[in-house]
Amino acid sequence: MGKVVEYMPSCHSTNDTAREMLVSTDIKEGTFVITDHQTAGKGQRGNSWFSAEGKNLTFSIILKPGFLSVDKQFYLNMIGSLAVKAMLNELVNDGHVEVKWPNDIILNGRKACGILIENSVRKSNIEYSIVGIGLNVNQKSIGLERATSLVNEANREYPLQQVLDSLLGHLESLYLKLKSGKEQEIKERYLESLLGYKRLRKYRAEYIFDGEIIDVRDSGHLEIRTPGGSELFDFKEVEFIWN
Ligand code: BTN
């Protein structure tokens, strides 16, 4: 991963640039699009992603997971989250890393990284996947109560290249694991990392309720055990309440 690199000093969204590249050329798997300054970064649920110029990592990787059926697409979210977690465990001493479903990476109780995955489907498999990662590295003032960065948690700045190399290394090895069929191991590691897994927490759907995450389906649906029985939620249908 990252052997073919498309670097832009500035762009709207690396996910959008990656998609444009897919239309126009025959792209090699692992091609990597990175910018210092994203002017219209996209987040999950139609949100925006803001990142200070030159301080953080904003990039997208193009995968061609033709081996993966659509109903297992959430494995791409799992390996993305686990790769960021592994990198943080390697680089941030005493950092406590958790994953907030579907794929927010929480460092010492605050979000340090967001992942936006956009898939295109051919027949019933994933033809292309654009894995967009926004990681707060050296930005001190973020202005969001529940957000943080590596510099804020480790009290030192990081060379962006070091962080990137570690992250891409972990992502590549997890992707190869997925390709070789080690789905169960990936799922177990993801569930163990998940905030609220087998723990009672508050959630908001159409109402507020207490529940315990008991599973995440291959499709990404979240299964929560509530006092009234277990319920399945799709993205956007349920939200974690922090306090
Ligand atoms: C989220 O947590 O809401 C997901 C944020 C994803 C941000 C990254 S930055 C690189 C890539 N390009 C985008 O426009 N978004 C993703």
Choice from 34, 116, 139, 164 to test ligand 1 binding pocket (greatest atom count within 8 A of CB): 116
CA 87, CA 89: separation in Å to the nearest integer? 5
Q: Measured from the CB, is residue 132 less than 6 Å from ligand 1?
A: yes
Average pLDDT over residues 79-88: 98
Unique residue bearing structure tokens 């319920």: 231
Does the structure show a pLDDT above 80 at 64?
yes
What integer best gives the mean pLDDT of the chain?
Answer: 95
Average pLDDT over residues 71-91: 97
pLDDT digits (tens, 9 = 90+) for 86-139: 999 999 999 999 999 999 999 999 999 999 999 999 999 999 999 999 999 999
27 three-state secondary structure: coil
Give pLDDT, residue 3: 80
Give pLDDT, residue 4: 83
Q: Measured from the CB, is residue 77 less than 6 Å from ligand 1?
A: no
Q: Measured from the CB, is residue 15 less than 6 Å from ligand 1?
A: yes
Between the CA of 230 and the centroid of ligand 1 the distance, in Å, is: 31
Q: Measured from the CB, is residue 196 less than 6 Å from ligand 1?
A: no
Query: Which atom of ligand 1 lies nearest, measured to the CA of 45?
Result: 3
Give pLDDT, residue 70: 96
Give pLDDT, residue 180: 98
Give pLDDT, residue 90: 97
Q: Which alpha helices (H) appear in 92-209, and where do they start and end?
A: 150-154, 160-179, 183-193
Give pLDDT, residue 26: 84
Q: How confident is the model at residue 1 (pLDDT cuts 50, 70, 90)?
A: confident
Does the structure show a pLDDT above 90 at 15?
yes
Give pLDDT, residue 14: 98
pTM reported for the whole predicted model: 0.96
Choice from 19, 99, 110, 133 to test ligand 1 binding pocket (greatest atom count within 8 A of CB): 133
Q: Measured from the CB, is residue 80 less than 6 Å from ligand 1?
A: no
Give pLDDT, residue 69: 97
Query: Which atom of ligand 1 lies nearest, measured to the CA of 40?
Result: 14
Give pLDDT, residue 167: 97
Give pLDDT, residue 224: 98
CA 180, CA 173: separation in Å to the nearest integer? 11
Residue 79 amino acid letter: I
Does the structure show a pLDDT above 90 at 54?
yes
CA 240, CA 243: separation in Å to the nearest integer? 9
CA 112, CA 106: separation in Å to the nearest integer? 6
Give pLDDT, residue 75: 98
Q: Measured from the CB, is residue 115 less than 6 Å from ligand 1?
A: yes
pLDDT digits (tens, 9 = 90+) for 177-230: 999 999 999 999 999 999 999 999 999 999 999 999 999 999 999 999 998 899
Between the CA of 62 and the centroid of ligand 1 the distance, in Å, is: 14
Residue 132 amino acid letter: G
Query: Which atom of ligand 1 lies nearest, measured to the CA of 51?
Result: 9
Does the structure show a pLDDT above 90 at 7?
yes
| Percent of the chain that is helix, strand, coil (3-state, to 5) | 30, 35, 35
